[in-house]
Amino acid sequence: MKATLEFNLPEEQWEHEYAVHGVDALLLISDLEGELRAMVNDDCGEFTKWRNEDEKECHGDYETLQRVWDFILREKERRRLPELI
C-alpha cells in the first residue's frame, strides 16, 4: 500500500510545509516531554536550574512543570498524535 500527498504550489505552500515538518514537531514534543520527565522524576535536565539574562540562578517549579507535562500528554491523546518509535 502507498500513500501520496499532493499540493498545488505555491497556493498550498503552508499545507506543504506543515506536512513536511510534522515529524520535526513530534520530535520537539518528545524532547520537551523528556526534559519535563527528567525534572519531575529525577530532578535533573534543562528545567532543573539555569541562569537568566541577568546571570541569576533560576530553578524549575515542580508543580508547574508537572502541570505542563500533564497538559501535553492530554493534548497528545486528544489529538491522537502518534508516539515516536
pLDDT in tens, 21-63: 999 999 999 999 999 999 999 999 999 999 999 999 999 999 9
Report whether pLDDT(78) > 90: yes
- pLDDT > 90? residue 85: no
Of residues 85 and 19, more confidence is placed in 19
Read off the pTM.
Answer: 0.79
84 pLDDT band, cuts 50/70/90, is confident
Determine the length of the chain: 85
